[in-house]
Every structure is written in structure tokens, then in C-alpha cells.
């Protein structure tokens, strides 16, 4: 088989050092396992926008379509370009155009990492709907700047969209501890979230082996902290999933550990792998960004590409690194120290 073609988009801020770290580590792993990777780097970012007026070229999506997978660092630098422009010009259209409807975000404590909770075991798989819902981009503003101004942001939930993400969650639950938590706010949102509950119940009948619980998003946020051991697979809409996964990241020790995969399960277009975190402008020049979230995301990419041996190798190297106390405390090790420590453990 030919080399896997990977598009790498470092993006803004710490996106560059963390994608370089991930590329270094996965290249070494794949070389040992005889798997060939071929990277093409794209400098699409807020700086590109300042030069060209676009976050990516007009044919950017078509260019990416020719790749087997995308590795992305982070997008956004609000001091240069408004987030509403940068994210809607690069990250969000990739997720949507490539129907990467399943955003998989694993939250667990790596060995040696002490999270803020007393819980010794923390292992939740969040499945976030990634193409519609509150991120549909439908809406508008009238009477802008006047006392009569009204802003509308419409959430769109389709049966296709809700059913496929819940089904994906049920399948994941089957592969794990057999429990699925469906997240809504159906006590307050009487159309979209009541619909989501109905679809959950309909699918539950098809998966009698999966134990289903319904939670409101506020209540499950508390449960993440108070009783995380009662949760296994958590399926949530785009916005609720976004918020819960930064909470999950915090509990697993910080955003520097939280990985994510934007999957197109039908494989009709490339999937994209990126950390949960953003460009971290506050630490971007300090050389202390934790690259583990991105290296882990890249391991998920190898798994997706069928390079399971290399994926397992990379995860083992990450775990051996944190078990040795390297990269476990924010700011204690530089990006390079953590990357080299993982790299030394790859063989
Ligand atoms: P952020 O995730 O960039 O940072 C939040 C906090 O976490 C900061 O204090 C930061 O220093 C810290 N942090 C994040 N990643 C870290 C790492 N790897 N190692 C150590 N510390 C880390 O969130 P923000 O500040 O709200 O957003 C900054 C920019 O990034 C904004 O433009 C935002 O829209 C964008 N953003 C992009 C993505 C993405 O591309 N997927 C995700 C989130 C935010
Ligand atoms: C994430 C980010 C993005 C999201 C932003 C930057 C649009 O927070 O990937 O979690 O909300 O999806
Ligand atoms: Mn987020």
C-alpha cells in the first residue's frame, strides 16, 4: 500500500509546536512499524487571513479532500481576527463539509497525572455531535446597534443528524462498559431536545444490551465531578458536547491532555484529528505547551488509518512518559522536553 497522505494544518499559536511534536513522534513510530506517512503542511491561519483576506484558499476544502486524514493544531487569535471569522473560515467548514459528524473525545487519567478530583478512576468517552445543532450558523441580527436590536441563532436538529450520532454512541457503548448517557436540556428546550429524547428512546429499543440514562446537561456536569465512575459513553449535541469536553479535559488534568477525533464514519471524506484545546495565546511564546493532547490525537489518526501497531506504540510511549512524571504538571517541562521524552520511549 502507498503512503498515507496526511494534511497538517498547524494553525495559530501553540498549534505549530504541538503539531510538530505529534508529527515527530508518529513519524518515528511508523518508521519502526514499516508504515509510510507523507505529510503536506498548510500554513492556513489568522496570519494567512491578514495577508489574503481568507483563512484558507477558495479551493481549500477540495484540496483537503484528496488526503487520507487531517491533523490540525488550533485555530484562532482573537487579537488579530475575530473568532467568529477565523473559526467559520477554517475549522468549522472542514468538520461540516467532510461530514465529520462524530467528534470523539476520550477523557481518562493518564498514569502519573493527578487530576483535581479525588477519583482514582476517571474514564469517560464523550461523543459530540459535530455538524449541526447549535453550530448550524443559521440566524441573523436586525436593527443592529439600536435599542430594538434582536439577534437570533437557530439550532437545527435533523433526524438524520440526531439518529446517526446516537447510533454511533450506542455502538461505542457496546465496545466499552455498555452504558450510554444521552445529554439534553429537554426540560427547557421543548422542541429540539424533546426530539433528541424521543430518538434516544427509539434507538434504545434496538440496543437492549446497552443501559441508557438520560441527563440534563446541568445535572450531568455536576455528575462529571461528583460521580464520574457512573458514566461511560456520553452523547451530546454540538454545544453541550463542547462545554462538557473542556470539563472532561480539566478533570483529566488539563487541556494539554485532551485529544479529539472528528470522524466521518462512512469514510466518504477525510477525518480530522486535533486536540480539544485552542491556540493558547497566553502561553504561545513560552515553549511550555503540553503536546500530549495532540500526540494522542495523532495516535487516534493512526488507528483510523489502520496503523494499529503504531497507534498502540504511541499511546504506550505517552503513558510511559507521564508515568515517569514528565509532562504531568503544567509548566514543569517544556514542549521539547515532553516531546523528546515520548520520542525516547517510542522504540
Ligand atoms: P485555549 O484552549 O486556547 O486556552 C485555555 C487555557 O488552557 C489557557 O490558559 C491555555 O494556556 C491553556 N492551554 C490550552 N492548551 C494547552 C496546552 N496544550 N498546554 C498547556 N496549557 C494549555 O482556549 P481559549 O483561550 O478560549 O482560546 C484561544 C483561541 O483558540 C481562541 O481563538 C479560540 O476560539 C481558539 N480555540 C480553537 C480551538 C480549535 O482550534 N479546535 C479550540 C478551542 C479554542
Ligand atoms: C473545540 C473548540 C471549537 C468548538 C471552537 C474553537 C469553535 O472550542 O473544538 O472544542 O466549539 O467546536
Ligand atoms: Mn471547545
Q: Please indicate whether residue 85, judged by its CB atom, sits closer than 6 Å to ligand 2.
A: no
Residue 51 known to be catalytic: no
Helices (H) and strands (E) in the chain, counts: 12, 12
> Does the beta carbon of 290 sit less than 6 angstroms from any atom of ligand 1?
yes
Q: Which helix (H) or strand (E) holds 200?
A: helix 192-204
Give the pLDDT of residue 228: 97
Residues 221 and 275 in one domain: no
Q: Is residue 170 part of a domain?
A: yes
Atom of ligand 2 nearest to the CA of 245: 10
Q: What angle do CA 275, 280, 282 make, to 5 degrees?
A: 160
Instruction: Report which of 116, 125, 115, 199 is spatially closest to residue 157, judged by C-alpha positions.
Output: 199
Q: How far apart are CA 216 and CA 85, in angstroms?
A: 31
Per-residue pLDDT of the chain (347 residues; tens, 9 = 90+): 689 999 999 999 999 999 999 999 999 999 999 999 999 999 999 999 999 999 999 999 999 999 999 999 999 999 999 999 999 999 999 999 999 999 999 999 999 999 999 877 899 999 999 999 999 999 999 999 999 999 999 999 999 999 999 999 999 999 999 999 999 999 999 999 999 999 999 999 999 999 999 999 999 999 999 999 999 999 999 999 999 999 999 999 999 999 999 999 999 999 999 999 999 999 999 999 999 999 999 999 999 999 999 999 999 999 999 999 999 998 899 999 999 999 999 98
* Structural domain for 1, as ranges: 1-100+265-347
Q: Are residues 133 and 90 in the same domain?
A: no
CA of 344 to the centre of ligand 3 (A): 31
Mutate to test the pocket of ligand 1, among 49, 90, 279 (most ligand atoms within 8 A of CB): 279
- Are 342 and 318 in contact by the 8 Å Cβ rule? The answer is yes
Cα–Cα distance for residue pair 181/169, rounded to 1 Å: 9
Closest C-alpha among 139, 209, 216, 226 to residue 185 = 216
pTM: 0.98
Closest protein CA for atom 5 of ligand 1: 280
289 close to 339: Cβ distance less than 8 angstroms: no
- Split into its structural domains, the chain has a count of 2
Residue 106: inside a domain: no
Probe ligand 2: pick from 90, 278, 280, max atoms within 8 Å of CB? 278
Distance 126 CA to ligand 2 centre (A): 14
Last residue within a domain, chosen from 216, 251, 286: 251
- Residues 262, 71: contact at Cβ < 8 Å? no
* Cα-only R_g, the chain: 20
- Asked whether the beta carbons of 5 and 66 are under 8 A apart, the reply is yes
Query: Does 260 map to a domain?
Result: no
Give the domain-ending residue among 251, 277, 295.
Answer: 251
Which of residues 197, 223, 251 is at a domain's end?
A: 251
Q: Please indicate, yes or no, if residue 230 is contained in any of the structural domains.
A: yes
Task: Tell me whether residue 318 is exposed, middle or buried, using C-beta atoms within 10 angstroms of its C-beta: 0 to 12, 13 to 18, 19 or more.
Answer: buried
Co-location of 138 and 82 in the same domain: no
The answer on 323 and 285 residing in a single domain is yes
Cβ atoms of 228 and 244 within 8 Å: the answer is: no
Residue 120 is predicted with a pLDDT of 77
Which is nearest to 261 in space by CA: 88, 125, 157?
A: 125
276 lines ligand 2 (CB under 6 A): yes
pLDDT computed for residue 1 by the predictor: 67
Q: Are residues 207 and 285 in the same domain?
A: no
| 130 and 20 assigned to the same domain | no
Residue 336 forms beta bridges with which residues?
none
pLDDT at 265: 98
Task: Assign residue 143 the CATH number of its domain.
Answer: 3.40.718.10
220 and 121 housed in the same domain: yes
Shared domain for 270 and 224, answered yes or no, is: no
Instruction: Please give the torsion angle defined by the CA atoms of residues 45, 47, 53 and 59, in that order, rounded to the nearest 10 degrees.
Output: -30
Active site residue 135: yes
> In this structure, are 246 and 279 located in the same domain?
no
**Domain for residue 256, yes or no?**
no
User: Is ipTM > 0.85 here?
Assistant: yes
109 domain-assigned: no
Q: Which of 40, 117, 27 shows the shortest CA–CA distance to 307?
A: 27
- Is 241 found in the same domain as 151? yes
Amino acid at each position: 500500500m502507498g503512503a498515507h497522505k496526511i494534511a497538517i494544518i498547524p494553525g495559530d499559536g501553540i498549534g505549530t509546536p504541538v503539531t510538530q511534536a505529534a508529527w515527530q513522534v508518529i513519524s518515528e513510530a511508523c518508521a519502526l512499524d514499516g508504515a509510510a506517512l507523507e505529510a503536506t503542511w498548510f500554513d492556513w491561519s489568522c496570519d494567512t487571513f491578514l495577508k489574503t483576506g481568507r483563512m484558507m484558499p477558495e479551493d481549500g476544502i477540495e484540496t483537503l479532500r484528496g488526503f487520507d486524514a487531517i491533523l490540525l493544531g488550533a485555530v484562532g487569535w482573537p487579537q488579530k481576527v475575530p473568532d467568529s471569522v477565523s473559526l467559520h473560515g477554517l475549522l468549522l467548514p472542514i468538520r461540516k463539509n467532510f461530514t465529520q459528524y462524530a467528534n470523539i473525545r476520550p477523557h481518562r487519567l493518564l498514569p502519573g497525572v493527578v487530576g483535581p478530583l479525588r477519583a482514582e478512576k476517571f474514564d469517560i468517552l464523550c461523543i459530540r455531535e459535530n455538524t449541526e445543532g447549535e453550530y448550524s450558523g443559521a440566524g441573523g441580527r436586525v436593527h443592529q446597534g439600536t435599542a430594538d436590536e434582536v439577534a437570533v441563532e437557530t439550532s437545527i436538529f435533523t433526524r438524520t443528524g440526531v439518529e446517526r450520532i446516537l447510533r454511533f454512541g450506542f455502538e461505542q457503548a457496546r465496545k466499552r462498559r455498555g452504558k450510554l448517557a444521552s445529554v439534553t436540556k429537554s426540560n427547557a428546550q421543548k422542541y429540539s431536545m424533546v426530539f433528541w429524547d424521543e430518538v434516544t428512546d427509539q434507538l434504545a429499543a434496538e440496543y437492549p444490551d446497552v443501559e441508557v440514562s438520560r441527563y440534563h446537561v446541568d445535572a450531568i456536569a455536576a455528575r462529571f465531578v461528583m460521580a464520574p465512575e457512573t458514566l461511560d459513553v456520553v452523547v451530546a449535541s454540538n454545544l453541550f458536547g463542547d462545554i462538557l469536553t473542556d470539563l472532561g479535559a480539566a478533570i483529566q488534568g488539563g487541556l494539554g491532555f485532551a485529544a479529539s477525533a472528528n470522524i466521518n464514519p462512512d469514510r466518504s471524506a477525510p477525518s480530522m484529528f486535533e486536540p480539544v484545546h485552542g491556540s493558547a495565546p497566553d502561553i504561545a511564546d513560552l515553549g511550555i505547551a503540553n503536546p500530549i493532547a495532540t500526540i494522542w490525537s495523532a495516535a487516534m489518526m493512526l488507528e483510523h488509518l489502520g496503523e494499529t501497531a503504531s497507534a498502540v506504540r504511541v499511546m504506550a510511549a505517552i503513558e510511559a512518559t507521564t508515568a515517569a512524571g514528565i509532562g504531568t504538571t503544567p509548566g514543569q517541562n517544556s514542549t521539547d522536553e515532553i516531546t523528546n521524552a515520548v520520542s525516547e520511549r517510542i522504540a
